[in-house]
Amino acid sequence: MRKINSLLVLLLAFKISTAQELKANITVVSNQVGTTVNQNVFRTLQTALNTFINTRKWTIDNFQLGERIECNFLLNLQPTADLNVYNASITIQAARPVFNTSYLSPIINFKDDNVIFKYAEFQQLEFNETRISGTDALVSNLTAIIAYYANMVLAFDYASFSPRGGDVYFQKAQNIVNNAPDGRGISGWKAFDGIRNRYWLVENMLNSRYAIMHDVYYNYYRLGIDKLYEDENAARLELLNVLNLLNNFNNDNPNKMINQFFFQGKSNELIKIFSKASKEDKSRASQLLQKLDITNITKYKDELK
């Protein structure tokens, strides 16, 4: 009996110590839908989405509770003329722990405005990797989008820890793109839907012409950010080398989505890091950042003098 009890304790301890890969928080904002719609629908949707992403096993790896990838999804709804159909934007934020610190470095901060879906209260959320588009494209579009970004969060996180580490999840995301729901109003999955959408994001990371971006992510996080604790000057030099890589990439491949995507959410981090650099390195970093991250030109000018 004692042996059986010991085994049960071990099994229970293993179950508690292992967890799903994502520690995700999905928030549904319905302010713009109007007061005539029962708000319980959106609370139910929020609960269902959190259950969907946090209880699903996305990889074959075992994660400890403290290893889960922290990410936030903000689904901002707008009404349509059709019953139970909503337009929305979804903002995805994910962070990565930095070695030997409690600091989380932003790895994704992206807003996708091309979301449309159909949802009725208590509707079951389903997703099948081998049969992504269900009988109703608007119903399956929401879980396809969530699954796509779940895989992209995993892909960029893995890519930051090992060279080409995220490839299997970029491939999974591309499979979702290739088999995505298709129907009236659905967009963001195809090349002709715009120049910055779900299609182009994963395409940029799997296109062999842009393979340098995998080095950028690995070098920035593993060789740069993770080394700040033990050798700040060497880490800063590596981060400056990353900016030079990005500059070369941008010169050869102007206006690619992945360049803008990389910098979103990183301006404060980069300013803090390079504000302590030598005058020469600070000046070089400022020049590169103003060229590469146009949205934050003024911040770099003012704070990296």
The answer, yes or no, to whether residue 82 has pLDDT greater than 80, is: yes
Cα–Cα distances in angstroms (integers) from residue 228 to residues 65, 96, 203, in the given order: 25, 14, 31
pLDDT of residue 132: 82
Mean pLDDT of 41-62: 96
The answer, yes or no, to whether residue 4 has pLDDT greater than 60, is: no
- Average pLDDT across the chain, whole number: 92
Q: Domain coordinates of the chain in residue numbers?
A: 20-189, 212-303
pLDDT of residue 88: 98
pLDDT of residue 131: 83
